[in-house]
Amino acid sequence: MIKSPRARSMARWPVALTLSALLGATLMGCNDKEAVNNSSDADSKAEKALAEDQSITINNTAEPESIDPHKVSAVPEGNIIRQLFIGLVDTDREGKTVPGMAESWESKDNKVWTFKLRDAKWSNGDPVTAEDFVYSWQRLVDPNTASPYASYLVDAKVSGAEAVMAGEANPETLGIKALDNKTLQITLTEPVPYFPDMLIHTSTKPVPQKVIEQFGDKWTDAANIVVNGPYTLSEWRVNDKIVLKRNPSYFDNAHTTIDTVTILPISSPTTDVARYQAGEVDVSAEVPPEQFESIKASMGKELRVAPRLCTYYYKYNTVRSPFNDVRVRRALALALDRDVIATKVMGQGQQPAYQLTPPSTNGMTNFTPEWQAWSKEQRIKEANSLLQQAGYSASHPLKFQLLYNTSDNHKKIAVAFSSLIKEALGTDKVQVELVNKEWKTYLDTRRTGDYDIARSSWCGDYNEPSSFLNTLKTDNTNNHGKYSSPEFDRLLNQTLVEGVDAKQRANLYQQAEAQLDADMPNLNMYHYVGVRLVKPYVIGFPDNDPLDVWHMKDVAIAKH
């Protein structure tokens, strides 16, 4: 899923800040109200007395474009939707797949899956049934929904998904049916052993059919919304806050402790930290790189740093000049000193990225490109040669716009990128215009392909390489750069052919990464670490989930 935003205003401006100036700046199960056992804190074995007021405020970095599970594609939206809706499966504090609306599931061949649903209710008192999932998945792939995640069920190999998404078949032909109110059967075209893990994703959660049919696009308004998760929407003040309240109809409400969740859209990491220090935020979203060391020294016990299954990269528009030429794409990738970006501009533990898939992803055999071992001088020499072959020189400089969503960190990276590229290839050969846009506008601009090269990132929807690599398949709805490689598609499709084992699948993923290196649809920069501040009285906020999938139902506030 697309990682974090930071958005405020729209502006166009030339690069005026030098790299040296930039680096100088950046381098400076119990009774609700009695007790809770927290397995993710240092003193996890001890029970703590809880505060009377079980309210929490967390920063989420952006104003969401929607909270309709079928209308979104990014992390901030998913963070909210996850508190409101529960899918067939869920995750625990370590990111492991656990039962959600389904109490159990089974498959004899990894192709036909049967899910047994628990007794659960929507917030209006209606039962959650297998038909709710049938409706929801049909809505997801229906072209009339125009979901940015419509191809997710295609990648999951759900029978009929591709034809429905293409408008060639009725949504009712999708391979999902209710055997009875509490039994759901899903048929795949190929065996997918990790299929249940895919179902933690936002797009596969159920939505209430009769509410959508009654209110249309207004069904997610606070006055109309009906949910099946631990919280319901109480208030939404645009660009200010979203307030969630406990849902008494939630099946596991007895084990939920937090009563009120306030979610803020603070786009500036500096403002985020300032409001945290002022006591207005209990859990921050980020820590600015330039404040990292000082905060580590002064608030080390509240600082949480953990690896994340996320990759930061620039996405080329491969069907628009100048980046429809692989030589130009490759020249920039070779010329960029990504170690400077990872270790100096960020400098919080991020690792330089030479492949899209984070190396720690389950089931990955990592790919090491030959040029990774080259000296800086050798890379720059080859980059200049490629640029010259593509027809660019001092008399005919390479010109392009770099799109990013407004954020202090994204601005620093964009300025550093521009400076490093110019330093390597020659200031007279490259001209970069930086374009920053507010989060929703940025997303829309990227989806419509109205850009040259765009800031991007991807966080795994589940812990398996296909979550990253599928996004570059030809018809994937998240393939905004329009990359298309029959060989890459073949390799990804081969991973789920019957008889392919885990070792062979890992090898195919490695070959797919090699194909991406040859074609360079993305310019990979670094693999993430999560860096945030958490108040000492917040119990149970997860540290050990590489997907960073937090649930407020698992959190509590201790007396303080």
Closest to 559 (Cα-Cα) out of 537, 534, 535 = 537
Longest dimension (CA), the chain: 74
Q: What is the mean pLDDT of each run of 10 residues along the chain (560 residues)?
A: 42 38 40 37 58 98 96 96 98 94 98 98 98 98 97 98 97 98 98 97 98 98 98 97 98 97 96 98 96 96 95 98 98 98 96 97 96 97 98 97 93 97 96 95 95 97 97 96 98 95 97 98 97 97 92 97
The per-residue pLDDT for 208 is: 98
Helix intervals (H) in 18-160: 19-27, 75-84, 130-141, 152-155
What are the structure tokens assigned to 207, written together?
């939505």
**Strands 11-14, 430-437: pairing kind:** antiparallel
Q: Strand, coil or helix: what is 201?
A: coil
Tell me which amino acid residue 403 is: L
Taking each continuous run of H as one helix and of E as one strand, the counts in the chain are: 17, 21
Find the helix packing angle between 408-425 and 19-27, rounded to 10°: 140
**DSSP secondary structure, 215-245, as one string:** HGGGGGSTTT----SSEEEEEEETTTEEEEE
CB atoms within 10 A of CB 302: 16
11-14: strand order across its sheet: 11-14, 430-437, 398-405, 453-459, 303-316, 522-533, 351-352
**Which residues lie below 8 Å from residue 490, measured CB to CB, with a gap of 6+?**
none
Residue 70: C-alpha distances to residues 225, 289, 413 (Å): 15, 34, 31
pLDDT given at position 315: 98
- Report the alpha-carbon distance of residue 46 to residue 276 in Å, rounded: 26
Residues 6+ apart with CB under 8 A from 228: 85, 86, 101, 120, 121, 122, 123, 128, 206, 250
Question: If you write DSSP's letter for every residue of 85-112 in order, what string do you get?
Answer: ---SEEE-TTS-EEESSEEEEE-SSSSE
* Cα distance between residue 211 and residue 226, in whole Å: 7
pTM: 0.88
For strand 183-187 and strand 55-59, is the pairing parallel, antiparallel, or unpaired? unpaired
Residue type, 155: D
Runs of H (alpha helix) within 336-375:
338-340
Q: What is the mean pLDDT of the chain?
A: 92
Q: Which residue in this structure is represented by tokens 């109480």?
A: 234
CA torsion 271→273→279→281, rounded to 10°? 80
Structure tokens at 331: 């020249």
Please say whether the beta carbons of 523 and 336 come within 8 A. Answer: yes
Residue 407: burial class (beta carbons within 10 Å; 0-12, 13-18, 19+): buried
What pLDDT sits at residue 35? Answer: 36
Q: β-strands 398-405, 430-437: how paired?
A: parallel
Q: How far apart are CA 557 and CA 50, in angstroms?
A: 6
Residue 322: closest CA among 330, 334, 310, 313: 330
| pLDDT tens digits for range 9-48 | 333 333 334 444 444 443 333 333 333 333 444 344 246 8
DSSP 463: S
Separation between Cα atoms, residue 239 and residue 530, nearest integer Å? 24
> What residues have CB less than 8 Å from 256, skipping those under 6 apart?
32, 230, 246, 250, 553
Q: What is the pLDDT of residue 406?
A: 85
Structure confidence at residue 48 (pLDDT): 81
Sign of the C-alpha dihedral computed for residues 145, 148, 151 and 156 taken in this order: negative
